[in-house]
Structure 1
Amino acid sequence: RAGENKSVAFAAPGPAVLQYSFRAAAHDICFRVTYVGELDARESAAAGGSGLGRGRLLDVRAGSREGSLALPNGGRYVAALDNSHSLLRSKDVSFELRLLRKASVLAAERRGASARLETELDGRAQRAAELARHIAITEPKLAALRKQLGEVEATLQRARVDQRENERLLREGQLRLAA
């Protein structure tokens, strides 16, 4: 309704992740998540967590939004949809909240990273196969070129020997002519 604020209270037993989505049928709406306090003393000690994440953790105004929010502490929280900025316009709003243990989120992130690495590995395996095919095609050519190089080097060596012999014979002939 116009100008109203709807809240949902929830408790996180320890560090967690809140996945949220909301959509206003027309215009925009404010969505807030606020830390309101610890669980009772026994639960609070068991939940752990840090001193971070106290007070308002999220405050967005949009027509729709999906996301996730790290809740670093166990405790009580309130998620609120606030239409107080719109005194004349009522809105149809849908929303969904899911509270996930941080370990579940980390496991999902690891699975995603693993899938990305497997995809990269598959790509590298394909590239390796392409390179192996290329090597198989070029190795015989390389062997033929090496053989030709050996023949050219042998011919060059024989030419040098012949050149030295010709130079020697030339010198001897010049000496005979000079004498």
Structure 2
Amino acid sequence: MTILRTALVATLIAVSATSAFAKNPKVGGAAMFEDKNIIQNALNSKDHTTLVAAVKAAGLVDTLMGKGPFTVFAPTNEAFAALPAGTVETLLKPENKDQLVKILTCHVVAANAMSSDVNKMAMADGGTHEVTTVGGCKLWLSVKDNTVMIKDEAGGMAKVTIADVKQSNGVIHVIDKVLLPKM
């Protein structure tokens, strides 16, 4: 009886531990853990290698490992690849660090905004909610068919493809376009 009880308790603990992390969707084929920060999780996503390289080149690793809270709209490798040919390579050059920092910080809001929060804010503002990013850019958030949409200063539209990926210092929303500031 004691062995059976021990096995049952061990099973319940394992199920509880698994369900604590099961709420987060996988990103880039990797599990995303709520007790890890944005950088720790992003390093595991095969869909965000370009973003990670850009964050490193911009010197923003320590910032995004910080306390937060941060909401990061994280473009995929495909989103970066959709930029004009040579753009990513040019931005990664040391002489273009200021421009790279500006673009990347236009993807970060100093808040912990889940998609339900964005929905509420957009509804309260007549369908579109304006936010100012860490980089000083304006973004306009709206919800269409239960999907968060983001308009950037350059007029581009990004769609959140994976929402509400909880991190220890905020939340990540995976997006399908790179957000650009007004140049």
Give the shorter-chain TM-score range.
under 0.3
Whichever structure has more helix as a proportion of its residues is 1
TM-score, normalising length from structure 2? 0.20
State the TM-score, normalized to the length of structure 1: 0.20
Of the two structures, which has the highest relative contact order with CA contacts closer than 8 Å and spacing of 6 or more?
1
Between Structure 1 and Structure 2, the one with more strand by share is: 1
